[in-house]
Structure 1
Amino acid sequence: MKNILYVLCCIVTLVSCQQKQRNVILAPEAFVRVSGQDLIQPDGSKLFIKGTNLGNWLNPEGYMFGFNKVNSGHFIHEMFCQMVGPDFVTEFWKQFKDNYITRKDIEFIASTGANTIRLPFHYKLFTDEDYMGVTVGQDGFTRIDSVVTWCRDNHLYLILDMHDAPGGQTGDNIDDSYGYPWLFESEASQQLFCDIWRKIAGYYKNEPVILGYELINEPIAPYFENMEELNAKLEPLHKRAVKAIREVDNNHIVLIGGPQWNGNFKPFKDAAYDDKLMYTCHRYGGSPTKEAIQTLINFRDSVNLPMYMGEIGHNTDQWQAAFCKVMEENNIGYTFWPYKKIEASSFMGIKVPENWQEVVTFSEAPRATYKEIRDARPSQEVVKKAMMDFIENSKCENCVPQVGYIRSLGLQANE
């Protein structure tokens, strides 16, 4: 009983200390700030962002599990439940969140010489909606608090990225939506979007480890006939969310991404509505040359604010090394996507578990009717073990560092 009381006291003390730290009022100079096209650290030195994204952890994506058709969070959850039942899947997601990213992962990232981590998250982590096995009292702050602590201990900055917004902002698997960016059609979703950002900003307003808040990831895919109409609604929503954040937090930078995969900045007409803005772009493929990003550079120069490559990757080591050189020469920091996935093309490769092909085969099978589900379902015991083996293989100590990949980013890796 004494041991239990001691542990409880330690937990209460830790929580109390974290709460006190959040309540301490810090000077603006304690936070990363914008100065023209540069980011300035509290010590006055320039920050050139180099790092990675913790993709798949709090916003599962199918391809990082080795799936093709089953490519968004709710598709993955549904498929798992069809295969092994909701109770096992609830436990799977708990174990997944507890083990996929831990302190060891953050320590490894820091060991490469990276200075920044981008953390994609699903808006549902800050609601009572069913998500990743939790049906009430979601654990968004608990999960992010852990990363904040680990980043603080390892001298890393953290960017909070709402990768999946209410209603869906992209209209593809990326935002875990229903195939259309309903966010821009729904007042209720927009209000929830702003309310969640106000809640997050109020909670972290005095946390200097957090570099900034990335409002929305890759809004408005280029598939829709009314794309230009949707594009015109983006900046007003940005302004509304920034206003909500500034009601509680005047310390942190707000990151703004353009529509069409964070690549189109033409819809933005006003760069002066806040004094702590920076822009974020994404790029996959193409030529690793300055000419390939000249329009991004031109926009950056026109607004005289920082531009940062929030996502880039999935290419050869040679391509990545060449593009990193171009980005450094043009003052565009970067976080490569992703930190960890099955097999390669990331900082860490997850080894394919035994019998994982059974899961992949089920994910690819026709499942439009209950008969098709029954006919395709593999052995539950085999699949349950494969799923738990995936979690075991995803632990930092069991992953395979991708040495060439890491070095291609201008970072350090040991053989």
Structure 2
Amino acid sequence: MRNLKTVRLLIITLSVALLSGCKIPQPPTNNNTKSQVDVPATTNPMIHTKGTLIVDGNNNPIKLRGVLLEGWLMWNGTLWGAGLTSETKIANRLEKMAGKEQTETFRTAIYNNFITEKDIELIANFGFNVVRVPFNHTIFEDANPLENYKARGWYYLDNLLKWCEKHKVYVILDFHSVPGGQGAFVSDPDLINVWFSATNQQQTIDIWKAIAKRYANKNIIAGYDLINEPDAPTGKALVDFHRRIITEIRKVDSSHMIILEGGNFSSDFTMYTEALDSNMAYGFHTYNFFTNDTNLSNLQKLTKLAKSQNIPLLNGEFGAHNATWIKEEIELFEDPQNQVNGWIFWPWKRVSENNERYRHLAEISKNEDWKKVTEGIAALFGPSKDITPEIATRAMAKFIESSKAENLILDQEISVILKKYLKNN
């Protein structure tokens, strides 16, 4: 992951240049972050932890093998063919090309069509037993207060859980963009992100507590992934914030597994010196955009740390590479000596880059109109005036149709590699 450190350094340097002259507030202090809430020592009907293992409600070890449903309740330009662009930037650029009303119509169409029961059925038939579901804080904030459950996010999550119960696919709820954002670009950051805002931190806690209260008895939920790839200013800031979130979750939900991620794009867990909860796992991510290194040395470090703390290890994301690398990574995750309790491939579907270096599983076909629109989204100075509202509206409609489950095109080579370890094959 050393190459990713270089990328992040470049991002930080650019951000400092853009924000020069702005005074950045310091992280809010919190004196009540040391309490640890233990799950009661009773039978747990949910997916939960048992030493370094993840087990089901009958205490049988289970391997969670699945895919990410990114691009749905959390937009990401890299999945749609628009480069490293955040949800807010995508929406703003679409408004410039198609207008505010058509962009809002597109948003609703994405929520209604990008992931449907047909996707979950295909995922289950493929042999996967879990989906990791990235969501943006904005899906819960179009109606308040949170516990009135009128925001549209509740509707879509409720439907997803019903589909997953029917098709026997577990769900990991993944807070991919917390209020203010927790990092750069695709975490949909605001000018002041969560680490420097007491208000954003409290809203993050409130959303998690509302989720936990609503779904406390949902056995189909495998776990709560608290913050995706957190880029905290210090390890202590990350640990303290996680403690606060866990404390509030445990007031309303004593059973669901907590998943904690680390720094440096969730590859560094050295800030964790002890368990923050008695039912938690570490969810690490594995990418390598510049070489073919499988990152075995880092995996061995993670295995050693997790074993020393008697905490399970789960790969929460990997992919975006060639077929050989993907195969070698899965073999590492399946090797018993590495003690990894499963893996989740990124993502379920995406617009292909037509590049051997960045292979996909399920392809969303890219039409010429959508290609123009995505170039406009990614362009440094904004979309070309040649992209008329008519072109943009037509492109969005075509993209919705191409993204539907029945129109996906599977990469057969990647399918074979993934299926080797799945339950139905």
Kept in 2, the 8 Å contact 1:112–1:411? The answer is no
Kept in 2, the 8 Å contact 1:31–1:211? The answer is yes
- The equivalent residue for 2:33 is none
- Give the aligned residue type for 2:77: G
- The equivalent residue for 1:42 is 57
- Residues 305/362 of structure 1: CA separation in 2 closer, same or farther (3 Å cut): same
Q: Which runs of 5 or more residues in structure 2 are unaligned?
A: 1-41, 354-358
Q: Distance in 2 between matches of 1:355 and 1:239?
A: 47
2:78 is equivalent to residue 63 of structure 1: yes
Q: Which runs of 5 or more residues in structure 1 are unaligned?
A: 1-26, 131-135, 222-226
2:101 to 55, 73, 87: 87
- Residues 282/366 of structure 1: CA separation in 2 closer, same or farther (3 Å cut): closer
Q: Distance in 2 between matches of 1:138 and 1:49?
A: 30
1:33 deviates by 1.6
2:350 is equivalent to residue 341 of structure 1: yes
Kept in 1, the 8 Å contact 2:287–2:318? The answer is yes
Kept in 2, the 8 Å contact 1:48–1:331? The answer is no
Kept in 2, the 8 Å contact 1:111–1:412? The answer is no
- The equivalent residue for 1:231 is 235
- The equivalent residue for 1:198 is 209
Q: Distance in 2 between matches of 1:148 and 1:402?
A: 27
- Give the aligned residue type for 1:166: P
- Residues 37/163 of structure 1: CA separation in 2 closer, same or farther (3 Å cut): same
1:288 deviates by 2.5
Q: Distance in 2 between matches of 1:116 and 1:157?
A: 4
Q: What is the CA deviation profile of residues 250-308 of structure 1, one whole-angstrom value per residue up to 9, with x for unaligned ones?
A: 0101100011101111111231x421111110010252263341111111111111111
1:412 deviates by 6.3
Q: What is the CA deviation profile of residues 370-396 of structure 1, one whole-angstrom value per residue up to 9, with x for unaligned ones?
A: xxx6x6241221221111000000001
1:127 deviates by 1.6
1:353 to 345, 348, 367: 367
Kept in 2, the 8 Å contact 1:173–1:179? The answer is no
2:339 to 326, 331, 334: 331
Listed as ranges, the matches of 1:3-402 within 5 Å are 28-68=43-83, 71-128=85-142, 137-170=150-183, 172-178=184-190, 182-220=193-231, 227=233, 230-271=234-275, 273-285=276-288, 286-288=292-294, 290-329=296-335, 330-332=338-340, 333-343=342-352, 345-365=359-379, 367=381, 376-402=385-411
- Give the aligned residue type for 1:30: P
Q: What is the CA deviation profile of residues 145-195 of structure 1, one whole-angstrom value per residue up to 9, with x for unaligned ones?
A: 11111111111110000000112111x112100366x21121111111111
- Residues 287/199 of structure 1: CA separation in 2 closer, same or farther (3 Å cut): same
Q: What is the CA deviation profile of residues 324-367 of structure 1, one whole-angstrom value per residue up to 9, with x for unaligned ones?
A: 11111123111011111112633210011232232133234454
Q: Distance in 1 between matches of 2:235 and 2:47?
A: 30
- Give the aligned residue type for 2:78: Y
Kept in 2, the 8 Å contact 1:212–1:253? The answer is yes
Kept in 2, the 8 Å contact 1:284–1:312? The answer is yes
